[in-house]
Amino acid sequence: MLQPITEKSYLVEVNLGTVAVQKQINFAFIPQLEGSTIYGIQTFSTTQLSLSPNGSTPVTTAGLADLTVTFVVGDMQEVFLLPCADLNSPSIYGFIRMFNNKKLNLTKSFVTIQSTGTVANNEVIMFNFLYR
């Protein structure tokens, strides 16, 4: 199975804040990813990493299932409500989901909380972007 060759990668944290159903949390501006082409994305849960680089608590694996992500290219929502669990490598036999060279408008892209059953306030979801 084809897997990506990482040329550059950047780990981004999205803090859920006070959780609520249908709450949308936009990605922050990341200068390193501005204008770059994204071709692979991973998420991680507390099962893999007990703390984020900033010392925050990641969501659980069950929590990933309660979160979706929408990625915007320009003004188009090209990846719409993708379950974040589908990007979690350990949950998909170690594979990294590949994308077709998307120039993401990251600040218009967002995570949506679909259920608050398994996520807690101020947990973070981490995305590892493979880019060039």
Chain contacts with other proteins (rule: CB under 8 A) = 1, 3-11, 32, 42, 44, 46-55, 89-90, 92-95, 128
Least distance (Å) from other proteins to the CB of residue 22? 29
Least distance (Å) from other proteins to the CB of residue 90? 6
**Identity (one letter) of the amino acid at 92?**
I
Nearer Cβ to other proteins (55/75):
55
Least distance (Å) from other proteins to the CB of residue 84? 16
The answer to whether the CB of 72 falls within 8 A of the CB of 109 is yes
Nearer Cβ to other proteins (58/67):
58
C-alpha pair distances (Å), 113 with each of 53, 74, 129: 22, 23, 20
**Nearest alpha carbon to residue 69 among 54, 85, 53, 56:** 85
